[in-house]
Amino acid sequence: MAADAEAGFAKMDASIPKASTVSDAANASSSGEAKLPPLSAADYRIYNRMAEHMDLFHNNFRQTWNVLYSACSSNKRPQGMSLRQLLSMGDDFCHHLTVHHTIEERHIFPVLAKKMPAFKKELELLDQHKQIHEGLEVFEDWLRDVRSGEKDARMDEMKRILDGFGTVLWQHLDDEVKQLGAENMRKYWTKQEMPTLPM
């Protein structure tokens, strides 16, 4: 009986996958999961170029958003700024973000998508673009209606609109830069390929 139990355990043990083997390590290495050696300062600059460039654009969007959001949260325009100037800032924000995303979707994402899953259609970054633009359209409509006099310039209404897409916008600004960061880019692109990427 003990022999039968021992044989049963041996059979069960044989069917359980072993922890890690040399071939598992080789597979992890070939799939890019193995830890890569540290980058030199020069190589880091090469691989991080797109992230730094993108973050410059994104910081402009963050700064403008903060001015707009601060105005509607405090129900007070920045000192020396007229309502007309605040509305123009909102229009510029919508326009520049739309142009920025259009350039990304037409000229940058298709190139990156050849090797990087995050930039393929219908994945998270493009889905974030879609959600952001739904919010931008509502914001643009509100700005137009206030300018034409159809609606009052109620700051609580502006805040409600910005809150509708603010979370996804800020997440997107961070996610995109993270995807373009040196440690991620080196998984997909060679040092020689980096200067050929659009940005």
| Residues 6 or more apart whose Cβ sits within 8 Å of residue 98 | 133, 136
Per the structure block, which two tokens stand in for 53? 């460039």
Per the structure block, which two tokens stand in for 120? 């393929």
**pTM (two decimals):** 0.78
User: For every residue of 137-167, which 3-state class applies, written as one string?
Assistant: HHHHHHHHHHHHCCCCCCHHHHHHHHHHHHH
Q: pLDDT by residue (tens digit) across 122-171? A: 667 888 999 999 999 999 999 999 999 999 999 999 999 999 999 999 99
Comparing 189 with 11, the larger pLDDT belongs to 189
Closest CA to 139 of 80, 79, 65, 78: 65
Q: Report d(CA 100, CA 102) in Å as an integer.
A: 6
Q: pLDDT by residue (tens digit) across 44-97? A: 999 999 999 999 999 999 999 999 999 999 999 999 999 999 999 999 999 999
Q: Report d(CA 122, CA 120) in Å as an integer.
A: 6
Quote the pLDDT of residue 30. Answer: 41
Domains of the chain: 41-196 (1.20.120)
Quote the pLDDT of residue 21. Answer: 28
Quote the pLDDT of residue 122. Answer: 62
